[in-house]
Amino acid sequence: MSRTDAILARLSQLHPKLIDLSLDRMLPLLEKLGNPQDHLPPVIHVAGTNGKGSTIAYLRAFLEAAGKKVHAYNSPHLVRFNERIRLAGKLVGTRKLNAALEEVERINAGAPITFFEVTTVTAFKLFAETKADYLLLETGMGGTFDTTNVVKHPIGTIITPIDYDHQGFLGNTLTEIAGNKAGILKRGAKAVMGLQQDESRHVLNRAARRLGITPLWQGEDFHGSEQDGRLVYQDEDGLFDLPPPALLGPHQFDNAALAIAAIRHFGLPVSEAQLADGLRKVTWPARMQAIREGSLRAILSPAQELWLDGGHNAHGAAALARTMAALPPKPLVVIMGMMNNRSVADFLAHFRGLQPVEILTLTIPGESNAHKAADIASAARGEGFSARPMRTIAEAVKAASAHQGARILICGSLYLAGAVLAKNETLPD
């Protein structure tokens, strides 16, 4: 076990629950540290169900193309915890991370606090200590009581599309879930909204009005779409004809347009040429990521493809299925694992039109709350798919290799995606 892992293991024992939505434990600890959340560079706060990470990836690419130094906070990580904290463009170094974690641990002095709370406090400390032009801040879950929601005056907020997810914590209806996400809206901060269902839009609009905010709405105040392989973006101030996003999938045109709207609505200093440059260079691991080298790729023939995606709910599955359907036809093999708070049937419902030749299932390595491979296979067969359980990731890829010329897709969980990247020795940077 690395020193970082040992520190994180200690911190995870400070509260009996992994998730306990509240700000009451964080605020006293932040005060002992001098309230670093009040000493940050200008903050853009992002909530929503899907597309948060991709939207932040576009914002970072645009701002960095304009020569800006950008902090970013994302979760969860795929392989190393360092991936959650980006300081002025670079992942936090292990020595700096360990020193900050240990100082926060010392000051907390064993008081009850959840893992995500104490690590977010550490991130705020690091962000306050390191100079940058902007901080892109992703919520972990929800909004109102999310650990990131201690920033009082963001320059802008973004709410990506809202759908059903984490119902045990956020509510069982879109009204309840959207009400929670709306908690990041702040009086005096501009807001940009992604494509929303009517129920969510009503809640967000009502919350914005209470705060005196007039949001910019995707699909009404601004539009972005694929036309002849290009991204055409339009709002009331003009039209841009831009290159397609480097991230694959029809939904990425929506995510890119949302980020462009935020850049323009928040008045950030990015030119059209720099938007184009960012679209060409943007990266975001485990989002329709083509695996072109590594130990897992070596199992396959040159004619076979290996893709990795961390989509893990029904909304993400729908976007993933649309992306796969847009690729040139090939036999499809799906390798999947899921956490047990997700519905296998709801996820796979979107794959019926793709007619995968086989679904190979995995228990996500090291995750006690994962669906068992046998249970996923049984559920998949119940939905009419040919499916069988596998013991290891390598065994699943080897089994998939029996399908000549196949396109192999590994999906269902970011935790599985992380295990795949670790097994393939591909570290996000």
pLDDT band at 376 (very low <50, low <70, confident <90, very high): very high
Is it the case that residue 137 has pLDDT exceeding 80?
A: yes
* 383 secondary structure, DSSP code: T
Q: In the predicted model, what is the mean pLDDT of residues 318-346?
A: 94
User: In this structure, are strands 407-411 and 332-336 parallel, antiparallel, or unpaired?
Assistant: parallel
Residue 121 above 70 pLDDT? Answer: yes
Over residues 90-100, mean pLDDT: 98
* pTM, full prediction: 0.94
Q: How far is CA 401 from CA 111, 284, 373, 397, 407, in A?
A: 51, 26, 19, 6, 10
The Cα–Cα gap between 336 and 402 comes to 17
* Other CB atoms within 10 A of residue 240 CB: 17
Domains of the chain, start order:
3-281 (3.40.1190.10), 289-423 (3.90.190.20)
**Model confidence at 222: pLDDT above 80:** yes
Q: Which pLDDT band holds residue 358 (cuts at 50, 70, 90)? A: very high
Query: 389-394 — which CB contacts under 8 Å span 24+ positions?
Result: 389/360, 389/361, 389/362, 390/335, 390/360, 390/361, 390/362, 392/362, 392/365, 393/296, 393/335, 393/362, 393/365, 393/419, 393/420, 393/423, 394/295, 394/296, 394/299, 394/423
The type of residue at 289 is: Q
What's the pLDDT tens digit per position in 11-27?
999 887 767 777 899 99
pLDDT of residue 141 exceeding 90 = no
Residues 6+ apart with CB under 8 A from 293: none
SS3 44: strand
pLDDT band at 1 (very low <50, low <70, confident <90, very high): confident
Q: Which of 218, 227, 213, 225 is nearest to 200 (CA)?
A: 218
How many CA atoms does the CB half-sphere of 335 hold within 13 Å?
A: 31
How many Å apart are CA 313 and CA 160, to the nearest integer? 15
Residue 41: name the closest of 141, 135, 106, 139 by CA.
135
Q: Render pLDDT for 153-195 as a digit per residue (tens, 0 to 9).
A: 999 999 999 988 766 666 779 999 999 999 999 999 999 999 9
Q: Which of 118-122, 167-171, 284-288 has the lowest mean pLDDT?
A: 167-171
The per-residue pLDDT for 166 is 63
All residues at 6 or more sequence positions from 301 whose CB lies less than 8 Å from its CB, including other chains: 401, 404
Q: Give the integer Cα–Cα distance in Å for 112 and 134.
A: 31
Percent residues over pLDDT 70 in the chain: 98
Which residues does residue 360 pair with via DSSP β-bridges, in sequence order?
Answer: 335, 388
Span 227-244, mean pLDDT? 96
Say yes or no to pLDDT of 357 above 80.
Answer: yes
Q: What pLDDT does 172 receive?
A: 78
pLDDT above 90 coverage of the chain, percent: 90
- Residue type present at position 238: G
What pLDDT score does 169 carry? Answer: 62
Cα(190)–Cα(158) distance, integer angstroms: 9
Judge whether residue 142 has pLDDT over 90. no
Q: Region 314-326: what's the mean pLDDT?
A: 92
Q: In whole angstroms, what is the distance from residue 18 CA to residue 23 CA?
A: 14
